[in-house]
Amino acid sequence: MSASEVKQHWEDRYAERDRIWSGRVNAQLARIAAPLPTGRALDLGCGEGGDSLWLAEHGWQVLGVDISETALGRAAAEAEARGLTGRVRFTQIDLSEDFPEGEFDLVSAQFLQSFVHLDRDRIFAAAAEAVAPGGLLVIVDHGAAPPWAPPQVHDHRFPAVEEVFASLGLDESRWEGVCVGTEERDAVGPDGQAGVLLDNVIVVRRLNVGAGG
């Protein structure tokens, strides 16, 4: 699938409804970020901006990036409505092809998973490089299909957290593993169904030992 086809896939997805996601911050990110000193944050695959806006409201200076201009337009409109335009900005990037410049104290990838082309190895390598010394890289994945997902999602193989962590190829002399594991979380589906979700959670800190990854 070409880059333009991938972009169109996501534009079509967001065009299905006026809002695709809940607008709430992802629970794992809120738990991890709440006690941190604020700084610069990068939200990868920010969608309609739920995480970016939460971080901005809690004192972070945030850059949210996504492939979909439709999603980013919704995020920017919500930021304006909440008076957050001075703390958060949004930009359109196909992360499989490009990556924002700069260093960040928090780089977050929440459920950056896709059934269409997504070069996660490239994205996560760039994400690690973008973490400032002392900063965190936070990756949260679906460890299994949600109970309410359609059959084709249940047939999909979700990588184990150990696989994802190993794929990062981090130099242990330059990184500290804060959390690498799976966690269960109560959740409610789109039609009000109660269920338990399995999250793969990776939190790693870049040590203050100079450049490199």
- The residue extents of the domains of the chain are 3-14+25-141+159-184+199-206
pLDDT at position 212:
45
pLDDT at position 15:
86
Q: What is the DSSP letter of 49?
A: S
Q: Which of 64-68, 151-155, 180-184, 199-203 has the lowest mean pLDDT?
A: 151-155
Average pLDDT (27-40) is: 97
Residue 165 phi, psi (nearest 5): -60, -45
Q: Which amino acid is at 117?
A: H
If you average pLDDT over every residue of the chain, what do you get?
93
Model pTM score = 0.92
Average pLDDT (75-88) is: 97
**pLDDT(24) > 60:** yes
Order the strands of the 175-188 sheet from edge to edge.
88-92, 61-66, 40-44, 104-110, 131-142, 194-206, 175-188
CATH homologous superfamily of 3-14+25-141+159-184+199-206 = Vaccinia Virus protein VP39 (3.40.50.150)
**pLDDT(95) > 90:** yes
Average pLDDT (51-69) is: 98
Q: Do 72 and 66 meet the contact criterion of CB atoms below 8 Å apart? A: yes
- Give the CA distances from residue 158 to residues 15, 141, 142, 145, in Å, rounded to whole numbers and listed in that order: 27, 9, 7, 8
pLDDT for 104-153, tens place per residue?
999 999 999 988 889 999 999 999 999 999 999 999 999 998 888 888 88
pLDDT at position 148:
86
pLDDT at position 211:
46
pLDDT at position 1:
76
